[in-house]
């Protein structure tokens, strides 16, 4: 069972010493599983990371960095299906094209909660059709109708009935599947939440939980971007003038607006967490947890004001360093926190090995099953990698280098002296 969120930062789990968070379901997994505290994504965007995870190949081998079609590549879900597993996907996958089976026998398709309206050329999905069936308009193009949109920095509480929220819809769809599933085949269930991807639109009752909590402010310094490659400032400018609902103008940010933005983001994590808790309870009620490998992760992180930026596309740890927790079936190892470097590329080999399915030799990750044994000796990686179409990150436990293809500029950080990646040492 793979539960993957979208754009979730590493500092969003209360059980990982983050007292500003309200995350009882995450905390349950921390207590019952193994926390990989140094896990990294292979791509700095949704599609790039997910395509790499499911094909088992880095972006430079698939050519998938953004919205390129990746259905033409084989993925390890097909290996599971061909070996007798019933494979179901509920929620976000980011297949391109979006409606392909991709090895799954059944899918509930939900993509980004932002984007163009149908009238403006946007694509529909099962969540949108559910809303349409009930006479509710899918929330798109709000930047055109809300005069305060740009000062809210994507912090917009959910305004319809709770059941129409994309993450509630995904969670309820997963619950329906778990409670109604019949069959004697082993199964692989992928649950892809769209949150906490922008817009940061938590349920209002979850937002209220953060009213009296002190929220950490961003890590940045004055004129920080002047010492960084030009893409950093360019991304900030691009989204400040974006002609779509995902636009965000960080030039309008001040402490009050950033505090508000962050409360909405963290509260959206809590909206997802509530559904995760219900899913874990339902799995336990059906007896599935006794013989299930449960993996929780996110596809990448979010700047959320760190480095005076929002969103992704860069190689800061705020983006590439992601939460990963594995609850092993025998639960010989519970509550441990590991500091070995691991990658989301390891998920495919881990799941295939757990299922008893041969791991194809072309997969570029390595199984994390050995970590289930507390007495096993596992040789850790020396480096992890993350890619975009113009940059490549190479990270060790103590240093990070980001190479910009065809440019003299780059990034180099001493992570022991500068864990916030504020001081670029590339030209030092």
**Cβ atoms of residues 110 and 192 within 8 Å:** yes
Residue 215 belongs to what domain range?
2-382
pTM of the predicted structure, to 2 decimals: 0.95
Q: Is residue 391 part of a domain?
A: no
Query: Distance from first CA to last CA of the chain, Å, rounded?
Result: 46
Residue in 269, 92, 93, 304 with CA at minimum distance from that of residue 196: 269
The total of other beta-carbon atoms located within 10 Å of residue 97's CB is 10
Q: What CATH code is carried by the domain that includes residue 60?
A: 3.40.720.10
Q: Cite the DSSP H helix spans in 75-197.
A: 76-82, 126-133, 149-152, 166-180
Q: What is the pLDDT of residue 137?
A: 80
Q: What is the pLDDT of residue 245?
A: 75
Backbone angles phi, psi at 5, to 5 degrees: -95, 180
Q: What is the pLDDT of residue 282?
A: 97
Q: Is residue 117 part of a domain?
A: yes
Quote the number of domains for the chain.
Answer: 1
Q: What is the pLDDT of residue 215?
A: 96
**Cβ atoms of residues 34 and 371 within 8 Å:** yes
Q: Is residue 402 part of a domain?
A: no
CA distances to 165, 249, 297 from 244, in Å:
20, 12, 28
Q: Is residue 392 part of a domain?
A: no
How many residues are there in the chain? 428
CA distances to 226, 353, 354, 366 from 359, in Å:
46, 7, 10, 10
Q: What is the pLDDT of residue 118?
A: 53
Q: What is the pLDDT of residue 114?
A: 55
Q: How many Cα neighbours within 13 Å face the side chain of 142?
A: 24
Cα–Cα distance, 70 to 285 (Å, whole number): 36
Q: Which value, to the nearest 10 degrees, does the dihedral of the CA atoms of residues 110, 116, 122, 124 take?
A: 30
**Cβ atoms of residues 293 and 34 within 8 Å:** no
Q: Is residue 167 part of a domain?
A: yes
Q: Is residue 190 part of a domain?
A: yes
Q: Is residue 428 part of a domain?
A: no
Q: What are the CB-based long-range contacts (under 8 Å, 24+) for 364-373?
A: 364/56, 364/57, 364/58, 364/61, 365/56, 368/36, 368/326, 368/342, 369/328, 371/34, 371/36, 371/326, 371/333, 371/338, 371/340, 372/34, 372/326, 372/328, 372/330, 372/332, 372/333, 373/332, 373/333
Q: Is residue 49 part of a domain?
A: yes
Which parts of the chain sit beneath pLDDT 50?
Answer: 116, 121
Q: Cite the DSSP H helix spans in 5-75.
A: 24-32, 46-55, 59-62
Q: Which residues contact 88 (CB under 8 A, 6 or more apart)?
A: 104, 105, 106, 107, 177, 181, 187, 188, 189, 190
Q: What is the pLDDT of residue 113?
A: 60
CA distances to 9, 210, 246, 390, 396 from 148, in Å:
26, 22, 14, 34, 43
């Amino acid at each position: 069972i793979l539960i993957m969120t979208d754009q979730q930062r590493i500092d969003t789990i209360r059980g990982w010493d983050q007292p500003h968070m309200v995350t009882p379901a995450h905390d349950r997994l921390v207590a019952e599983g193994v926390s990989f505290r140094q896990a990294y994504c292979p791509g700095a965007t949704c599609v790039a990371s997910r395509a790499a995870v499911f094909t088992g190949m880095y972006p430079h081998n698939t050519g998938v960095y953004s919205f390129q079609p990746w259905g033409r590549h084989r993925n390890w879900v097909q290996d599971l299906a061909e070996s007798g597993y019933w494979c179901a996907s509920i929620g976000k996958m980011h297949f391109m094209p979006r409606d392909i089976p991709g090895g799954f026998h059944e899918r509930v398709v939900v993509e980004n909660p932002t984007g163009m309206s149908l009238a403006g050329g946007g694509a529909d999905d099962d969540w949108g059709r559910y809303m349409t069936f009930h006479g509710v308009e899918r929330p798109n193009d709000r930047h055109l109708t809300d005069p305060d949109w740009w000062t809210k920095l994507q912090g917009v509480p959910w305004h319809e009935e709770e059941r129409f929220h994309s993450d509630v819809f995904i969670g309820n769809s997963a619950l329906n599947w778990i409670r109604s599933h019949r069959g004697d085949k082993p199964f692989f269930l992928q649950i892809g939440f769209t949150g906490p991807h922008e817009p940061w639109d938590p349920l209002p009752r979850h937002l209220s939980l953060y009213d009296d909590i002190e929220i950490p402010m961003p890590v940045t310094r004055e004129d920080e971007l002047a010492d960084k490659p030009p893409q950093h400032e360019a991304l900030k400018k691009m989204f400040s003038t974006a002609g779509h609902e995902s636009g965000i103008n960080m030039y309008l940010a001040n402490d009050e607006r950033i505090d508000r933005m962050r409360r909405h983001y963290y509260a959206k994590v809590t909206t997802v967490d509530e559904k995760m808790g219900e899913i874990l309870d339902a799995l336990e009620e059906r007896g599935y947890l006794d013989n299930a490998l449960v993996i929780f992760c996110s596809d990448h992180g979010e700047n959320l004001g760190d480095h005076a930026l929002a969103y992704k596309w860069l190689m800061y740890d705020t983006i590439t360093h992601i939460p990963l927790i594995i609850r092993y079936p025998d639960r010989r190892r519970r509550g441990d926190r590991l500091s070995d470097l691991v990658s989301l590329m390891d998920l495919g080999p881990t799941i295939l090995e757990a299922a008893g399915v041969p791991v194809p030799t072309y997969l570029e990750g390595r199984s994390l099953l050995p970590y289930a044994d507390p007495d096993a000796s596992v040789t850790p990686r020396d480096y992890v990698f993350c890619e975009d179409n113009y940059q490549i990150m190479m990270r060790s436990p103590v240093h990070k280098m980001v190479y910009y293809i065809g440019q003299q500029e780059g990034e180099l950080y001493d992570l022991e002296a500068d864990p916030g990646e504020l001081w670029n040492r590339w030209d030092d």
